Structures are given as C-alpha cells and as structure tokens.
Amino acid sequence: MSRSPVRFFKSVSQRVVFSLEQFSRHEMANHAAAGAYAFLLSAIPAVLVILFVSSRVLGTLDSGLVLGVLDPIIAVFGGREAIASFVSTPLAGFTGAFGVVNLLWAARLFIVSMQRGMRIVYADGAKVNPVRENALTFAVEIILILAIVLIISASQVARAAIGAIHWKPMARLLGLAVSLGLHAFPTLALWLFVFLTYKNVPPVKPRAVNAAIGSAACLVTYTALGALLSLTLNTARYGLLYGILGNLIIGLIKVNFFFWLYFFFAELCHTLENFDSMLFARFHRLAMSDKPAKGLDRTLFSNPARLIRRYAREYSAGETIFEKGDDDRSALYLYEGSVEIGLPPAAGEPGAVLSTVGEGELFGEMAWLLEEPRSARAVAKTDCMVFVLPPEMFERYLAQDAGASRRLVELMAARLKANNERVGRSGER
C-alpha cells in the first residue's frame, strides 16, 4: 500500500532532523573545513601526478584534453597554462619515482580527512592502524588516478580514431558522442566517488541502497545549490580584494560547501541505517519525560506509528509473552497495558510473581545482556501492546542514546532491590 503524502513528508522530515542533529552534535562543519583545506593541499599534487602518468602512458599528451577532463579540479585554482606546461618542462622528468611518491603522499591528505570524518559520523572509537590506514589511502588514490588516466587515454585514442574517419557525418557524430561523454564524466565520476566512499570508508559499512540514496541526494543538492552559489558569488569583488588569489578563495568556498553537503549526507546514510533505533530512542525519551512534548518532538516523534507497524504485538490478558528457557534474545517495551514477570510452577511448587511491568518500561533485556535463555516468564496481566525489539536494534539504541544505558541500569537496580525486599519479607515470615 502506498504511503500518503503526509506520512511520506513526515518520514523524510524525521530523517532530515536526525541527520541535522547528528551533523551539529559531531561538529561536522569543522571536519568540512578540514576536508576543504586538505583538498587545497591535495589537488595540485594529484593533477601533476595525473599529467605525469598520462604523458608517460601516451608518449605525447594533448594538454587541452587533459585540462578538459580535470577542469572541475583545475578550475578551483586557475593557472591552467602553468599546469599544462608541466609536462613539457625538464621538471617533469625530475618527477621520477621519488617525486611521484612525494606527490602521492601530499595528495593523500584529502582521503585521510574523509576517513576521519566518517569515523566521527559513525561514532567509531576503535583504534586506528596507521599502516593499514595509509595503505588504504594510497590504494584508493592510485585507483582514482589510474581511472582518470584511463579516461584520458581512451579519449585521446578515440579522437585519433575519429580523425582517421573520412566520412564526415560519422566523424562529427562520434566526435559529439565523445564530447558529451567527457562533459558527463565529471558528474558521473563525482557520484561514483561519493557512493564508494559512503559505502566503503565507514568503519561500519552501510547497505549499498542507503549509500546510493545518500550519494545521489548529495550530488543533486550540490548541483542545484552549487549553481545558485556560483550566481551569488561576486567574482570581481573577490578579485579586487584578493588579487590573483581571488579564484583560489572562491574555489575554496565551493569546496567547503561541497564538504558540508558530503558530511551531511554521510550523516543521512548513517540515519537510514539506524533509523528505527534512533526513532525508538527519541520516542522512549519523550515517553519517560515528565514534560509534554513540544515543537518538532510533538509533531514528528510523539506518535510511534512506524514502530507500531513494524514491531508491535498485541496480547490478551493471561496470554504468555515468553516462557522461561526461551532462546529469543529480543528486548521488549510495554507500550500499553501491564505485564507480570515471574517463575512458572515447578516440582509441585506454585509459580511466583517477581515484578510487574508498567507502561513505558523495558523488560526481557536480561536475555540480551547475558546472551542466555530467558530466566523467567512474562504473562500479560491485562490486554497489552508490546514492542519487540530485535537484538541488533536494541544494541544500536543503547549505543546511540547517551542516557539509555543509565536508564537500563537504574531499571535493573530497581528490580533487584524489589526482589531483595520480597525475599527479605518471605524470610521474616
């Protein structure tokens, strides 16, 4: 059944709000600035390596073709002629193996900044292996450079082949196809790069569909807002203020804007992966608050309709929710009604009620915590509705909500205290 426009808008709004909150909490604007600075230091070395490798692969190099393919990078810094002349100077020969390694080392900063940003997005506190990290950055860098060199080589070969065609209409048609391909290449390459980094760089790999959604949204937003940004930036004014550095400043602004979007949609990918656990965490926190929800919380998060559709189960009064010894590791949240936790009758002895669960409380968490079968039974005292939270969702919930673990410990402590008091009263009798 298709979703209503209101429901769809609410669902999208929830994800955007979560992503914006995470973006702010993680201070990703600072990481965007670091990424832009790293790009500033990395772009020129990368371009020089591409020019050097291309010239060695092809023997001769059409600098105009290369600059056309690399225009999105070179345009940031200006100085096309200076860069194009690199391959024809003795300095190009000096590059050699040692020089190429130095350039690759300088260019790696761009990828390193993205890795560090992704670790923040996914809140990964694991220790970093510097050898593995540097090896990975070099591998990614070399793959990107070789891919661009391949495109340049294929384009030059295609143009040479087209030039040999004597039938002019066919030559013009093929030339148009190559030109369109070169114009589309930067956009397609950017989308592929963003998709691959969203999919493979995070310490916890998201699903391909979420990485594809995030990268497509990033590219569309950057294209639309980037065009608007270009219209609003006064190039002449920056040129007047900064002289020859005007183009560099404008380029840096655009790159910084891209990284803002890049990390925001990385947060969106993370939200898509963990949406249900984030939604439950927000709803649970609101439900436990003494104050009524206001503003966005009341509009977007006070009604757990999605959680009810996906995780709710209804039980009649007297119905068993789980038995002692069950292998299920799910945690449960009582949305409506009342539940009794107790021990079933055994060896001629009557069963015992250990505690009563009220609305808004978690129960059944010990099986998840201890990774053991259920240690008690749960029976619906009244008609009730229960959210059954899968183990992986419950674990994400505890990891994402700073107060969730504390609330869980407090709940377990309260239950332990109540059981101790019950045992004490039984001993007195």
Average pLDDT by stretches of 10, the chain with 429 residues: 76 94 93 85 72 66 55 48 48 51 70 85 68 73 75 71 74 73 72 88 88 93 81 61 61 83 95 94 86 86 92 95 92 95 75 86 88 91 96 88 74 70 56
**Percent of residues in the chain assigned helix, strand, coil, to nearest 5:** 70, 10, 20
Note the pLDDT tens digit of each residue in 29-38.
999 988 888 8
pLDDT value at position 208?
93
Most distant CA pair in the chain, distance? 109
Query: Residue 64: in which H helix or E strand, if any?
Result: helix 63-69
Provide the phi-psi class of 244: left if phi over 0, else alpha when psi is between -120 and 50, else beta.
Answer: alpha
- Residue spans of the domains in the chain: they are 5-273, 295-428
Q: Which residues contact 342 (CB under 8 A, 6 or more apart)?
A: 351, 352, 353, 354, 355, 376, 377, 379
Query: Residue 91: in which H helix or E strand, if any?
Result: helix 90-121
Provide the phi-psi class of 128: left if phi over 0, else alpha when psi is between -120 and 50, else beta.
Answer: beta
Place of tokens 């929710």: 321
Structural Rg of the chain based on CA atoms: 30
* Fold observed for domain 295-428: Jelly Rolls (2.60.120)
For 328, half-sphere exposure in the C-beta direction (CA atoms, 13 angstrom radius) is 17
Q: Which residues contact 382 (CB under 8 A, 6 or more apart)?
A: 317, 337, 338
pLDDT value at position 101?
67
CA torsion, ordered 412, 416, 421, 427, to nearest 10 deg: 160
Six-digit token pair at 310?
A: 């996906």
Q: Find out whether 17 and 236 touch, Cβ atoms under 8 Å.
A: no
CA torsion, ordered 241, 243, 247, 250, to nearest 10 deg: -10
pLDDT value at position 288?
82
pLDDT value at position 111?
80
pLDDT value at position 30?
92
CA-CA distance, 328 to 371, in Å (whole number)?
9
Q: Find out whether 181 and 152 touch, Cβ atoms under 8 Å.
A: no
